[in-house]
Chains A and B, each alone.
Chain A
Amino acid sequence: MAHKPSEYKSGVYVDWCPGCGNHGIVSALQMALSELSIEPHQLVIVSGVGNAAKLPHFVKANGVHTLHGRLLPFVMGIKMANPALKVIGVGGDGDGLGIGAGHFVNAGRRNIDMVYLLHNNGVYGLTKGQASPTLKLGLKTKALAQPNINERLVAISLAIAAGYTFAARSYAFDLEHLKGTIKKAMEHRGLALVEILQPCPVYNNINTKEWYAGEDRKDAQGRAQSRLYKLQNSGFDPVVHDEDENFKKKLAGIEKAYEWGEHIPIGVFYQNPLEPTFEDRFRDRIPFYLENPPAKQLLKNTDGTSTVNLDKFIVDLKTTHE
């Protein structure tokens, strides 16, 4: 059954600041869900903590608003218990690359089929503007007492190195591109990162909407020259078509991810559809896993007793010999 984008609104008051990139992100997400005809009850949106992480409350779908940096472990539990569910993770740059960095990296080893929307605005908004792990060294956004003393992490390159099988970047105010990128990520089978560049109108006075739009870089006709350009228009092919070219494609994606400043690529940097998902790997060991995952098993007989017969354990432990 098709649903209009507005049917994915929960009705909960959206308490993000006016002008926040999050508004664009949630709209693009609702449009993508509508175009993909996702049933709200089959979708679970799992978030960490922070401004971005409030998103599940605003979408009419199951929402699990978890702990700071911990959305990936929750997703793993949900998805492995019931792999039929569609799961989208949502969190900020501080959530995913600061406090949650260990999970961010280790998730790449598993390739669970999910989408991870990483909102990147360079600051910790909800705690009033501290530098996030994606803010460049030396920048002094307005709430900082001193210029940022840490160098930035590049989410896309980290993801590719860690083993994510889809890594893309989009921009919160390019709704069409963002919607399209989310759709591609959802159609990818495996762990798909979508880094979403997002101005924070309150605390990031450097990477602003105007900065991304290139208002400071006008051509002879006085037209702003956007810093963002679309990778796929430049003939970049991120897809691994055959296992032999995997490493080369990874390197190309990582190299592209480091472009920053005057020219910032958006689009898909890397996509490998050949890698088995975590679910596939368990199915290879437990043939009925996908049909009978942990959340769908009977556990008990009609009289309430356990379905399990422990003979396979007891045979090892028997101390009576016949």
Chain B
Amino acid sequence: MVIDSINWMAGGPQGSGVDTASAIFGKACGYGGNYVFGRREYHSNIKTMHSYFHQRLSKQPIEANIADVDLLAAFDAETVVRHVSEIVNEGGLIVDSRDLSVNTLQDIKTFSEEYKNQIRDFQKENGVGETISDYLNYAKQRRIQVYAISYMELLKEIGKKTGIENLGTLSKMINVLTIGVSFALLKYDRKLVENAIKATFHEKIVDMNLTALNHAYDYTENTFDVKGFKYKLERHPINEQRIFLTGNQAVAMGKVLGGCRMQTYYPITPAADESEYIEAHEILKTKTGNQEAVIVLQTEDEIAAVNSASGACLAGARAATSTSGPGFSLMVEGLGWAGNNEVPLVITYYQRGGPSTGQPTRHSQQDLRFAIHAAHGEFARIIVASGDIEECFFDAAEVFNLAEKYQMPTIHLIDKGMANSSQTYATFDYSKVKIDRGLIVGKKELEDKDYKRFEFSENGISPRAFLGTKNAIQWYSGDEHNERGNINEEPLNRRKMMDKRIGKLEVVNREVPMEFRAKFFGDKDAENIVVSWGSTKGAIIESLNQLREENKSLGYLQIRMIHPFPSAYIKQILSDKKRIIDIENNHMAQLGGIIAEQTQIQPSHYILKYTGRPMMTTEVYGAILAVLEDRAPQRQVLMLGA
């Protein structure tokens, strides 16, 4: 790969502090001027099931994950089994010496029968025995440095230094212990890690964690040939302010910046973190000291969430709800109502694996068609799909402008991959973000006007007035209605209202700049092109850069506004390509189908993934290269990631 990076992974049972370890690790790396891309994988479970965090580190910005692990910190035996084959030759493995005798097929209760079959296959293929010891021998054969440490002994020593005897309390510090060992092996500036610990923990427990960290550092430096581990994490100068954030956090910030003042939600993974983050910051800081705050409502279900957001829009607030597939399924009737009543409702839609409960904590891009078509009847909506965490931020603000300018429900489509990944950026420059509330009727104008909420107009957009405005009595109805909003079933009125509402999509088509709707990367006149949407972006960009360095002729078209679809532009871009490679995290190649429908051009190749894990540069690069070298089948299915 072009990008020189170090890849660290921590894995362990859920509830054992993997997330905290990763937060500290990412911060500490950031303090030293490293860019971080973190990917979090977890089960739909509170405690005991396996989870892991992969952190990719580099002195240059990185946009995606790769499959390689250079240093694995295993909190438990399961982590060794699941990830040993991802460790690169000459990489490192930190393991609890207590686990050496663990039998991988008998002693690990969290393994399913299906997974045990895979383990048996792995052991057979690689001539590996059943115990963790055997796995470590296998690792050593691959010149992986194994650092077997008795975590409990170390914790007891830390206990002596801190005066803590309770083993339960001590074992909560396994995460800090492994961070200490990891950074010592990476020969990283200890001060930076100490600062990260201070920034993470409550002051009451900072000291004990600092003691644990330093003990682990000293122990590692005194016990192992640290210099013999070939990786070194450097410090780099930073001359800008940087942030390290998740997609959930980016959306939350983008929303309040964009004027969202009411957020409704029903708890669901992976959307709820966003609402909680907003609620934690409900009283806003404003540039001029205006008093502004966001009301966050946790409702009884998603039906209430979507409809209370619509109600708030009618009253004049910028309002949104945030959900995932199962919740969106319940919101569908509310979406139809908002469409019929031209409500500028914003729905932030975090895709996860479906159908039904599906893979609640895993990644997917399966809901594009659903977002476009959900609800009975025909009406106008806008769908914007962000491709990375920075886009999540700016789009989260912009979708409110689209919703209000064109008075239609607007869906901001993102996914679990972005929601739970964390990435380093220079602090976003949001000084140019504008708020445009669209056509709102003035008070003066209303004095001598017979206000009609749905008044016919040339472009179909009627001036809004908010509930409570003097001289602007208004009606709304889920039934077909006349200009006043009162029920009307006449054929002529029906035709005019349908034309008005759906015709606004043409206005969107005309007015929204193409730079917003689609982005092109690489050579405009390349004979091969990748088309994609959403969070595949990072892995595609990195692959594209690498392939172009290898003199491959390649472009990449990221489609961001998928509805209304920028058909003419896309058609023009795709019309003379030799190979069109559609890349998506789903089974049915949904965007590929939409492209064919809208442009009559079929992708020639598909690279798809539906394991519940996001795409990694490693596999995307390989799959595109295989297409370019004419050795790929028409449809490739990617599998990387535990």
Interface residues of A (CB under 8 A from B): 10, 12, 40-42, 44, 46, 49, 54, 56-57, 60-67, 70, 72-82, 84-85, 102-103, 105-106, 282, 285-286, 288-289, 291-301, 304-314, 317-321
Contacts and interface: CB of A to CB of B under 8 A. Distances in A.
Given A294-B261, A308-B286, A319-B30, 15 more contacts: A49-B478, A60-B473, A65-B476, A67-B307, A77-B308, A78-B314, A79-B311, A80-B262, A106-B299, A294-B262, A295-B468, A296-B316, A305-B432, A318-B427, A321-B31
Contacts of A82: 315-317, 466-468
B297 interface: yes
Give me the 4 closest cross-chain CB pairs, A-B, nearest first.
A77-B311, A319-B30, A77-B308, A294-B261
13 contacts: A40-B473, A41-B469, A56-B475, A65-B487, A72-B304, A77-B311, A77-B315, A81-B319, A82-B317, A297-B261, A307-B284, A319-B27, A319-B30
- Name the residue among A282, A304, A306, A312 with the largest chain B CB count within 10 angstroms: A306
Interface in B453-475: 466-475
B468 A41 contact: yes
Interface string B305-343: 111111111111111000000000000011001000000
A73 B257 contact: no
Nearest to B294: A294
B297 A80 contact: yes
A307 B466 CA distance: 21
B258 A306 contact: yes
A217 to B, nearest CB: 41
Interface stretch (B78-86, B237-245, B626-634): B237-245
B159 interface: no
A74 to B, nearest CB: 4
Contacts of A61: 473
Contact of A312 (B285, B294, B305): B285
Nearest to B198: A321
Contacts of A105: 300
Nearest to B431: A305
B283 interface: yes
Interface string B462-506: 000011111111111111000001110000000000000000000
- Name the residue among A294, A305, A308 with the largest chain B CB count within 10 angstroms: A308
Contacts of B282: 285-286
B233 to A, nearest CB: 15
A320 B287 CA distance: 23
B12 interface: no
Contacts of B308: 73-74, 76-77, 80
Contacts of A85: 315, 467-468
Contacts of A46: 311
Nearest to B446: A41
Given A288-B293, A304-B436, A77 B264 contact: yes
Given A73-B307, A81-B315, A300-B259, A288 B285 contact: no
Contacts of A80: 262, 295, 297, 308, 312
Interface residues of B, number: 91
A214 B445 CA distance: 56
B253 interface: yes
Contact of B253 (A63, A70, A289, A310): A310
B166 interface: no
B486 A12 contact: yes
A79 B290 CA distance: 22
B288 interface: yes
A312 B333 CA distance: 37
Contacts of A57: 475, 477, 486-487
Contacts of B471: 41
B136 to A, nearest CB: 34
A304 B257 CA distance: 12
B307 A286 contact: no
Nearest to B427: A314
Contacts of B334: 67, 70
Contacts of B294: 294
A15 to B, nearest CB: 9
A72 B473 CA distance: 21
B291 interface: yes
Given A67-B334, A78-B467, A292 B307 contact: no
B284 A319 contact: no
Contact of B31 (A60, A306, A311, A319): A319
B473 A306 contact: no
Nearest to A282: B295
A9 B316 CA distance: 25
Contacts of B306: 73
Nearest to A86: B468
Nearest to A304: B434
Contacts of A293: 295, 317
Contact of A319 (B26, B333, B469): B26
Contacts of A84: 468
A295 B261 CA distance: 8
A77 B312 contact: yes
Contact of A308 (B192, B256, B436): B256
